[in-house]
Chain A
Amino acid sequence: MSDKETFTEQEQTVLRRLAGAMISASEDLRIPGADDEVIFRRLLERTSHIVAQLRQAMDDFCADLGGTATVAALGDVDFSDVIETARKKPHPFLEVLTGVVANAYYSDPRILASLNKEDRPPFPKGNTLEQGDWSLLDPVKKRDPVFRSC
């Protein structure tokens, strides 16, 4: 496959490191971070239609970091400064990445199980919604009309 359709190894390294920094593993909850192999593979699958846009955004992010930062260079060096910068300073690339990381992570059956949520589509089982206390309407029913008659 050409680079236009999939992320390079270096790009994947950067994406995976950022994902893991965004959502880290939890020993207490016994759940992986977003850099987990299965979760990251899901992230790559679900971004396959926006590789070019995400690549451009990632390049812009690296350029804004300044210095000699490039995607290729970030893959090989100590990432902690990059993560600190990313935590503090919003960037369009990070906004998009937040969405795709959340998507891949919170689709994972292990994560859903930790939340006591069923790993299933909404249809056909649906959900239950309680009726609620309709007496809450009583004060509103006593009001005069709030529309202007014409």
Chain B
Amino acid sequence: MDEVDVLIIGAGASAAAFAWSIADTKMHIVCLEQGDWVDHQNYPSVGKDWQSRPDFGSDPNVRKAAADYPINCDNSDIAASNYNGVGGGTILYAAHFPRFHPSDFKVGTLDSVADDWPIDYETLEPFYAINDRMMGVSGLAGDPAYPPKQPVMPPLPLGKSSAALARGYNKLGWHWWPTDCAINTETYDGRDKCINLGTCGIGCPQGAKGSVDVTYWPVAVRAGVELRTHCRVREITVGPDGMATGAIYFDADGNEQRINASMVVVACNGIGTPRLLLNSKSNLFPDGLANSSGLVGKNLMFHPYAGVDGIFDEELDGNKGPHKGLSCHEFYETDASRGFVRGFSFEMHRGYGPITSAALGMLAGRIPWGTAHHEAYREIVDRMMTIVAVCEDLPQVRNEVVLDTELCDSDGIPAAKVNYKMSDNSKKMMQFALERGREAMDAAGATDIPREVGPVRHAGWHNMGTTRMGTDPSTSVVNEWGRCHDVKNLFVIDGSLFVTGAALNPTPTIQALALYVASSIKDKLADASLFD
């Protein structure tokens, strides 16, 4: 009989941080992950065909790897993106690594919309700092958009693209700051510094990008955590007392296995986690595990993305560096005079390789057909960058993850379906953001703006809110330290916990929260109150 103390389901960003932290209890800890470790020598950027590798695309419905499960997004304005394997989304993320603002935890109090989180920035701050050290965050202290914090390494170089945009922001008098990134700017923790492959979003064979398969997981495994790959969990099991007893999963050979655990921790992201809970029905939980509130899967939040491309006379960086460079938080906080609440951040996308430059230019009509292609192309290549708006999405119960009634994965487990519509608030915000993006590009010296797009459909990287945390079991699924209200030995540690989504990449906050939950569990283990 397979009996463990702690069962973690999923091996992405939150699971890695949690496993690393909880390992010092010396409990018997097993993590089940449906995918595998990534072979870094198989990353696209080691080959000449690096721009032609569909196996490293972010859409699971196109990638269709063995570890992927279908996500029906036919009724969603935004299509989900993920990566299923050890490292989760950090394998493909650009490593843009901002913390949330203090106000992001107090949206209800400050802006009279949505709700406050049951914890605040100050509570998470020490865990953000631990996570920055473990992931290896480069940046620059002194950002007026944050309370004081100290990155671990110096910031990434500005490069030509960031410098051009910075001049534009300065002309407008807007805030900007070099972006915090989980990318080594010097040798750190046994990993080399970044050599500007420009392929962060399809994996980093250099190891300079902080994905959790090279940061947390090696340390957690050395500390005794057992990570089993090719193990797909079908359901979490419960006993007659309403406590979780473990899980049933399919092993690498496709055989059904059972594992018993004293504590179950779910880390499958904002779509995978509700899917698993909804698939874990029982007599005690006919509507899905831990779902007496009816909120498992509800309040799905994405970050609606919008982009403004700019073409410059001067040569920029192209794709010769990390994707991210600057952030602008000028429009982050609520200003009701704008006609919407909450706000957005501006990222930048540094530039594009030869193929993407051609495709974008042709699709935008900027590069004509025929012999005129060549002159027009040479005006664009290495001369284009994009301002990207990351809009805060307010929680709405109608936006949800449910079980698909027809689709299943390769093990016959019902797939997820996303029902999602952008709110009027998000639409107004996005329109405002596009206008400001255009303004910024003009100020930066762009001679042409060939494309403005929003919402970007294939930008569902950040999925949040679907097992929200709170102190009231009627309006939340999980309590203020990550334990499910209904099941006292069941925990959630991923972005499903989020009460609101902020306007920034969620990974640092997801991981800080996972570390906080681990710390809370350790405290309550010490005073024997964990399952009270």
Contacts and interface: CB of A to CB of B under 8 A. Distances in A.
B355 A107 contact: yes
A119 B170 CA distance: 38
B48 A121 contact: yes
B102 A147 contact: yes
A10 interface: no
Interface in B140-167: 140, 142, 144-147, 156-160, 162-163, 166-167
A28 B110 CA distance: 63
B160 A130 contact: yes
Interface string B324-336: 0000011011000
Contact of B45 (A121, A137, A146): A121
Contact of B197 (A25, A83, A126): A126
Contacts of A126: 195-197, 206
A51 to B, nearest CB: 13
B320 interface: yes
Contact of B332 (A26, A128, A146): A146
B369 A87 contact: yes
Nearest to A50: B54
Contacts of B363: 95, 98-99
B205 interface: yes
Interface string A106-122: 11000110010101111
B411 interface: no
B175 A140 contact: yes
A66 interface: no
B531 interface: no
Given A122-B198, A129-B320, A132-B157, A140 B106 contact: no
A112 B173 CA distance: 40
Interface string A1-33: 000000000000000000001111110110100
A121 to B, nearest CB: 5
Interface string B412-426: 000000000000000
Contacts of B110: 148, 150
Contacts of B461: none
Contacts of B121: 150
B196 A121 contact: no
Given A127-B197, A147-B145, A103 B51 contact: yes
Greatest chain B CB density within 10 A among A28, A115, A127 is at: A127
B182 to A, nearest CB: 17
A24 B373 CA distance: 8
A117 B106 CA distance: 50
A92 to B, nearest CB: 11
Contacts of B162: 132
A77 interface: no
Contacts of A21: 369-370
Nearest to A119: B48
B359 A150 contact: no
Contacts of B529: none
B254 interface: no
Given A103-B52, A127-B320, A148 B333 contact: yes
A147 B198 contact: no
Q: Which interface class (under 10, 10 to 19, 20 to 34, 35 or more) fits B?
A: 35 or more
A133 interface: yes
A122 B317 contact: no
Contacts of B177: 137, 140
Interface residues of A, number: 55
B412 to A, nearest CB: 25
Given A126-B197, A130-B159, A150-B120, A23 B46 contact: no
A123 B43 contact: yes
A129 B159 contact: yes
B101 A147 contact: yes
Contact of A22 (B142, B160, B356, B362): B362
A133 B320 CA distance: 18
A40 to B, nearest CB: 15
Contact of A83 (B50, B358, B369, B371): B369
Contacts of B109: 150
A127 B321 contact: yes
A63 interface: no
Contact of A150 (B102, B140, B163, B198): B102
Contacts of B344: none
B292 interface: no
A110 B145 CA distance: 47
Given A102-B358, A105-B358, A115-B354, A22 B373 contact: yes
A4 B159 CA distance: 47
A145 B144 contact: yes
A29 B375 CA distance: 10
Given A21-B370, A147-B146, A140 B176 contact: yes
Greatest chain B CB density within 10 A among A87, A126, A130 is at: A126
A150 B103 contact: yes
A136 B178 CA distance: 11
26 contacts: A22-B369, A23-B374, A24-B373, A25-B371, A28-B374, A86-B369, A102-B356, A103-B359, A111-B354, A119-B48, A120-B48, A121-B45, A121-B50, A123-B206, A126-B195, A126-B196, A126-B206, A127-B195, A127-B320, A129-B157, A130-B159, A132-B166, A136-B167, A137-B140, A148-B102, A150-B110
The 8 A-B pairs at the shortest CB distance, nearest first, are namely A132-B158, A126-B195, A127-B320, A102-B358, A122-B197, A129-B321, A106-B354, A127-B196
Interface of A: 21-26, 28-29, 31, 46, 49, 83, 86-87, 95, 98-99, 102-103, 105-107, 111-112, 115, 117, 119-134, 136-137, 139-141, 143-150
Given A129-B157, A131-B157, A132-B166, 12 more contacts: A23-B373, A99-B363, A107-B355, A121-B45, A121-B48, A121-B50, A123-B206, A127-B196, A128-B196, A132-B160, A134-B158, A147-B144
